[in-house]
Amino acid sequence: MNKEYNTVRTTSSSEASDDQPFLPINPFAEPITTMSSANTNHHGRDDDMIDIDFQNTTNDRSTNSVMNVDLVNTHYDDFQTIDWLKDLMRDRFRHRLLRTKSHQSFFNKLLMYHDAWSGWLCVLLVGLSAGVIAAVIDIGTNWISHLKHGICLNAFWLNREQCCWASRQLQYDNVNSEECPEWFTWPQVFGTYKKGAGEFLLSYIMYIFWSTIFATFAVLLVKVFAPYACGSGIPEIKTILGGFIIRGYLGKWTLLIKSIGMMCATSAGLILGKEGPFVHIACCCGNIFSYLFPKYGRNEAKKREILSAAAAAGVSVAFGAPIGGVLFSLEEVSYYFPYKTLWRSFFCAMVGALVVRSINPYGNGHDIQFSIDYSVPWASFELLPFILLGILGGLWGAFFIKTNIWWCRFRKNSRLGQYTIFEVVCLALITAIIIYPNPYTRMSMSELIKRLVSQCRVEDMIDLCDYPNAQFYNGKSKGSIGLAGPGVHHAIWKLFFALIVQVVLVTFTIGVKVPSGLIIPSMSIGAITGRIIGIITEQLAIQNPTFILFRHDCSKEENCVTPALYAIVGACAFLGGVSKMTVSLVVIMFELTGGLNYIVPLMAAAMTAKWIGDGFVRGGIYDAHIELNGYPFLDNKEEFNFTTIAADVMRPRPEQSSSLAYLTQNGMTFLEVENLLKETTHTLYPVVVTREQPYLVGQIQRRDLQIALKSQKMQRFRLSQSLIQFTSSSETTINSDYEVDNQNEQRLTTNPEVIRIGNLLDQAPIIVTDQTPMETVVDLFRKLGLRQAFVTRNGRLRGIITKKDILRHVQQLTSSNTETTYYDN
């Protein structure tokens, strides 16, 4: 347990100097061999473990003759795909063993109860830790952000609100309302007390200074300590959950650096969000805690159950949306999501949300991040602008995915990729210079969204609420009534410039080497667009109350259009266009805003955005990044729609001269086997009856074979001509009634120079016929989580298909549509 855990850490830190973690280690750069090759450069460590494994394996086998699969060997190499089927079977075997033992002693019974509870305990710990970390990050970000503007001289560790709160009982949730004496802005600190251009300039410069410092700190941290901590991490988590090993990606260094880096990057004012990375952080927690429970830590397939729950908790703590988190995990990131996981994920997400809520980082008593305080009904004609927002969202999504991927590819392939620190510093500098003058970009994006989705109130003095003729009922307006004043016109222009700035900057920001999410930027852009369109619609309705569209719903006294609602719908549409989420998006928005009444506008916008977006780009930004990075992710949402058959995909290809590496059941000598192992690097070898009759008998792991040969070498001499035989004595009884090929075997059992290693043979390989449509094969791989399947024709072994073969095949078939054929280089 500790061993593996250490491996994670050391791998993570040893690769810390690696600049672009995924470029050099291209999982597809292997030479085209029949099977995915194992890394052979870890021999020393592998051999250390091998003896233990071998011991355990044989012990386990003695209790259960049926399961002659390697049951304890959980060690995959880095960048390998996992075999879900075997992993899950291994877990069931472990569970059965535990249950059998539990009758023997009270301690074993306790162990079994611990085992049954460990899943719940683990997700509880994950939920708690994710909640605490999220709250800490929220509080930290708040503090660092305020540091850009000033400092609490008496107690520098307090942010502005806390500082003012500490000094006098200021209204808690209103940051910008009044001055407070304890809080010193930078001009005040430097003695420039008088208002004017000088003060503005000094503030401006300090803002730029701090932004650059924070951004530099973030990128340096990431570059030096944990290169995996950059980006949102969601594409990689999708890949990992799809059954791929990336050592160190979910390690504790990544967790630590990502948490700190995220605070700095967000506080630097870069156009990025911290909600996406929360998913990565929660998954790190999931990975780390899973090592406390060997059931999960030592079994990659089972570990993914915990990671799915952790992903749900990540969204839940980011948005306070537990149900949305579970649906996000189910819809967007998870691959294998059994029924049990659903309930555990929900529990994990709930715990996370409750922890955040009780620590209360938003500091406003509300449980909901962007809570809306109105429930004005929406009129049916408003569906038109909502659908327009959906269309804009879809277009934005397509535009963003295309340009962002183009820029990321340019960065990767040009010399820019070597100057990541320089890039981030420049970006931070430019961002700070651009965004400070505009009050709508100067405030944090969360704050901006919060303001845009709120209705105007009596006390609101900002220009967005400049409705001179407005009458407020009960402190709120029932819709913002009346013609807009000049303030609103100014606000629209400022918002429009904010929109342009954010659109341009976010495209270049997402993908730089700092922790960065794009959920909040997308929502912010959407909310701005929505609010602008909302105000336009509102003013149109006021100025043309008799127009056919408005006549039915809008009376003269009451306004029918609520621009704030448009901001929510816009946020939903733009996020939907980028992420292509559907149900989870609507549920998250619904939980985020608490607006039960607006589910139809939200759905309409999300659906339109997805449809329009899909017309330009298939899949969301996460899928695009998976493709860009060439991760071996076998998408289980896209339908495989080609007419190829297994014979078209299997290796060896008939047109190539290479032949399949295999072992025969009885007829190979020690030397021949040893040579085969030297010549090839496959992780797995098929075993057939004879060379002339290549009927598939089973499969054997390279590792097992190596161990067996090694242990034989130590015991005997003059082995080279000994025959290796893959039939065990127990098997002959099973064979008796049906087999005709065992004359050979009978001859061999009398030969003293026979080495029997039939107990290492896995007699349950997955077989498909060569005429099987690839649709079925892909279904098999997706749904059972296979790593490989053997192809036979009339029982004869003809080839093998691995998961990577399938990915390569899909890539080849679709390569006419995409520009790169990244899988082939």
Whichever of 238 and 451 has its CB closer to its own copies, that residue is 238
Whichever of 382 and 463 has its CB closer to its own copies, that residue is 382
Whichever of 175 and 764 has its CB closer to its own copies, that residue is 764
- Smallest gap from Cβ 328 to its own copies, in A, equals 12
- Smallest gap from Cβ 538 to its own copies, in A, equals 25
Whichever of 140 and 393 has its CB closer to its own copies, that residue is 393
- Smallest gap from Cβ 291 to its own copies, in A, equals 24
SS3 402: helix
Could you write out the DSSP letters of every residue in 452-520? Answer: HTSPPBTT--SGGG--TT--EETTEESS--S---HHHHHHHHHHHHHHHHHHHHHHHHTTSSSB-BSHH
CA-based nearest residue to 701, from 769, 750, 614, 760: 760
- Smallest gap from Cβ 417 to its own copies, in A, equals 34
Whichever of 161 and 591 has its CB closer to its own copies, that residue is 591
Q: What is the distance between the alpha carbons of residues 263 and 243, in angstroms, rounded to a whole number?
A: 30
- Smallest gap from Cβ 775 to its own copies, in A, equals 6
- Smallest gap from Cβ 250 to its own copies, in A, equals 25
- Smallest gap from Cβ 634 to its own copies, in A, equals 14
Which two structure tokens, joined as six digits, stand for 330?
């189910």
Whichever of 447 and 739 has its CB closer to its own copies, that residue is 739
Whichever of 249 and 347 has its CB closer to its own copies, that residue is 347
For the chain, the straight-line distance linking the first and the last C-alpha, in angstroms and rounded, comes to: 37
**Exposure class string for 395-431: b at 16+ Cβ within 10 A, else e:** bbbbbbbeebbebbeebeeeeebeebbebbbebbbeb
- Smallest gap from Cβ 83 to its own copies, in A, equals 11
Whichever of 389 and 603 has its CB closer to its own copies, that residue is 603
Q: With beta carbons less than 8 A apart as the criterion, state whether 345 and 328 touch.
A: no
Which two structure tokens, joined as six digits, stand for 790?
């053997």
- Smallest gap from Cβ 2 to its own copies, in A, equals 29
- Smallest gap from Cβ 645 to its own copies, in A, equals 6
Whichever of 13 and 582 has its CB closer to its own copies, that residue is 582
- Smallest gap from Cβ 764 to its own copies, in A, equals 4
Q: Which helix (H) or strand (E) is 348 found in, with range?
A: helix 339-359
User: By CB neighbour count within 10 A (0-12 exposed, 13-18 middle, 19+ buried), where does 618 fall?
Assistant: middle
Q: With beta carbons less than 8 A apart as the criterion, state whether 438 and 271 touch.
A: no
CA-based nearest residue to 483, from 499, 501, 471, 474: 471
Whichever of 54 and 336 has its CB closer to its own copies, that residue is 336
Find all residues with CB under 8 Å of 656, minimum gap 6, and list them: none
Report how far apart, in Å, the C-alpha atoms of 383 and of each of 449, 512, 565, 816 are.
Answer: 22, 38, 12, 38
Q: What is the distance between the alpha carbons of residues 406 and 508, in angstroms, rounded to a whole number?
A: 10
Find all residues with CB under 8 Å of 33, minimum gap 6, and list them: 651, 658, 680, 681, 682
Q: With beta carbons less than 8 A apart as the criterion, state whether 316 and 325 touch.
A: yes
- Smallest gap from Cβ 483 to its own copies, in A, equals 33
Whichever of 253 and 319 has its CB closer to its own copies, that residue is 319
- Smallest gap from Cβ 317 to its own copies, in A, equals 15
Whichever of 248 and 322 has its CB closer to its own copies, that residue is 322
Whichever of 531 and 803 has its CB closer to its own copies, that residue is 803
Bond before 187 cis per omega within 30 degrees? no
- Can you give the C-alpha Rg of the chain in angstroms? 31
Residue 762 DSSP symbol: B
Q: What is the distance between the alpha carbons of residues 587 and 603, in angstroms, rounded to a whole number?
A: 9
